[in-house]
Structure 1
């Protein structure tokens, strides 16, 4: 399988993100990372695992409600996530906030956010989330290997 240039660029970006997650973020990575609060993992209509929530200090989006690019890795205990594009510091998840007082959240968020996202499926099980991420990473490596093999045969 030969990937077109734009897809090859995407897979190279994802492979770099996968590689840096093996060591985890540095202190500088997290210091410069946007903060994601009221977040929740979800499966997009196209089958991509993403996070959605309120971001603070995003380099391109400022502070807004967002869906991230493809999620690559997440560490609940250390409070970070890595997407194809960047590191995120994780503040309180929506599930944690709901468990600690859902009514306060409803008042605070009234009229500012539509929950759930149409077409998205929330992922509530951390084990399922890790399984989906592992399957995605395996698929990326498989596609990369097939593309490189095809290019080697061509070249």
Structure 2
């Protein structure tokens, strides 16, 4: 599924796909502490199966340069405001050191995505 999601992310979402996508706001890209790569954490609205307010996503496959949307290995997300440092600590249940250690800049998140694309044979190094 990840390879297909990486392929979909190169095209970007249609308007209809974004209309149906859940929203994350605030959100932040972080390093997945268990599996590596980038994931998103945030306050969700409209997720079809998750009812918890605060979630972490599956592996990040694309992050829009303007921060309007993201593709994970399972779905598209609309993105609202990027989480401040304080909000990220809250999303990670007050773990200050963890928030600081895991937070990724958009550039770092893109580097993780690029590594996944290379690993899947969808891009050159």
Show the counterpart of 1:121.
102
Question: Which portions of structure 1, spanning 4 or more consecutive aligned residues, are displaced by more than 4 angstroms?
Answer: 116-120
What is the TM-score with the length of structure 2 in the denominator?
0.81
Unaligned runs of 5+ in 2: none
Q: Which secondary structure does the structure 1 equivalent of 2:49 belong to?
A: coil
Higher relative helix content: 1
Q: Verify the 8 A CA contact 2:9 2:71 in the aligned structure 1.
A: yes
Q: Provide the rounded CA distance (Å) in 2 between the counterparts of 1:27 and 1:40.
A: 23
Q: Verify the 8 A CA contact 1:52 1:68 in the aligned structure 2.
A: yes
Q: CA deviation at 1:21?
A: 1.3
- Decide which structure has the larger Cα Rg and report it: 1
What is the TM-score with the length of structure 1 in the denominator?
0.66
Q: Verify the 8 A CA contact 1:17 1:83 in the aligned structure 2.
A: yes
Q: Verify the 8 A CA contact 1:37 1:94 in the aligned structure 2.
A: yes
Q: Provide the rounded CA distance (Å) in 2 between the counterparts of 1:85 and 1:59.
A: 12
**How many residues matched?**
118
